Amino acid sequence: MAVTSVSRRLRVLGVPVDAVDMQGTLNWVEERVASRKSGTHLCVNAANVVRAHDDPDYLAVLERGDLIGSDGQPFVWAARALGQPLPERVAGIDLMEQVLDRSRETGWRVYLLGGRDEVVRRLAGQLSARGVRIVGHRDGYFGPDDASRVWDEVRSADPDVVFVGMPTPTKEHFIIEGAHQAQVPVCIGVGGSFDVLAGDLRRAPAYMQRLGLEWLFRLLQEPRRLFTRYAVTNTRFLALVLRAMVRRTRTARG
């Protein structure tokens, strides 16, 4: 665990998260690129909390993230209810867009890693057309035995920023187990952001994001794939929050 100077590390519902806003996160990215000191950025949301309670190995990987953002609005609300307020939600896709904008201004070298080949290839072309310096891309379909070779490919491209668009927990394990060895200045996990930015999936409207209903919007787009997952995850997350609130109330009463 490496807490940056721009943040304060908290534990919310048993998982680590940094009390840092978007501007602080962007400052951290700029500091890492300028110093060439390898840094990893992970995100936590309701689903990550539930997984961390089920999977000690996943929780241990989260602990090693250099900066951990609060990706989900329900998670931000839960932190506030438990007396550990976070400055704001810093969604992975929003961070990616902000860093890409900064990359156009600075000439940072960007590598895209993850997703389906046709998606990441198309996104790389779209970003290049917008003035982002894309120095490499590849899909996320490889096994654990190939991870070292993939990191060698990334390192040879000499990027300033690597975006990893893979599912949890594959993404977190891949980043933590290889980014520092590959000496990547900034490695950011962004989940399914490639599909949205490439135009294959739509993102929830702003009002649904503010209401913490992005999960519902995604469910309506992919009901067969996501219904069971969200039904179980959301119920368990709510139970964890309520249990923590009860414990906090009892502790306050002595």
Asked if 53 contacts 103 with a C-beta cutoff of 8 angstroms, the reply is no
Nearest to 179 by CA among 5, 56, 6, 2: 2
Q: Which residues pair with 188 in a beta bridge?
A: 41, 163
- Examine residue 102 and state whether it is found in any structural domain, yes or no: yes
Radius of gyration of the chain (CA): 18
Please report the pLDDT score of residue 19 as a whole number: 97
SS3 (DSSP) at 222: coil
Residue 204 pLDDT more than 70?
Answer: yes
Q: Identify the domain containing residue 41 by its residue range.
A: 9-197
Q: Both 77 and 127 in a single domain?
A: yes
Asked whether residue 2 is assigned to any structural domain, the reply reads: no
Burial (CB count <10 Å: 0-12, 13-18, 19+), residue 144: exposed
Domain co-membership, 175 together with 233: no
If asked whether residues 123 and 232 sit together in one domain, one would say no
What pLDDT band is residue 1 in, cutting at 50, 70 and 90?
very low
User: Do 223 and 114 share a domain, yes or no?
Assistant: no
- Is the confidence at residue 11, as pLDDT, over 50? yes
Say if 3 falls within a structural domain.
Answer: no
The answer to whether the CB of 46 falls within 8 A of the CB of 74 is yes
The Cβ-side half-sphere exposure at 163, using a 13 Å CA radius, reads: 32
**pTM (two decimals):** 0.93
Q: What are phi and psi of 207, to 5 degrees?
A: -65, -35
Q: Across residues 202-225, what is the average pLDDT?
A: 90
Q: Please state, in angstroms and rounded to a whole number, the distance separating the CA atoms of residues 188 and 165.
A: 9
How many domains is the chain built from?
2
- Helix 56-63 vs helix 170-178: angle between axes, to the nearest 10 degrees? 50
150: in domain: yes
Asked whether residue 114 falls in the same domain as residue 161, the answer is yes
What digits encode the pLDDT tens for the residues 24-35? 999 999 999 999
Contact between 9 and 17 (Cβ < 8 Å): yes
pLDDT over 50 (residue 117): yes
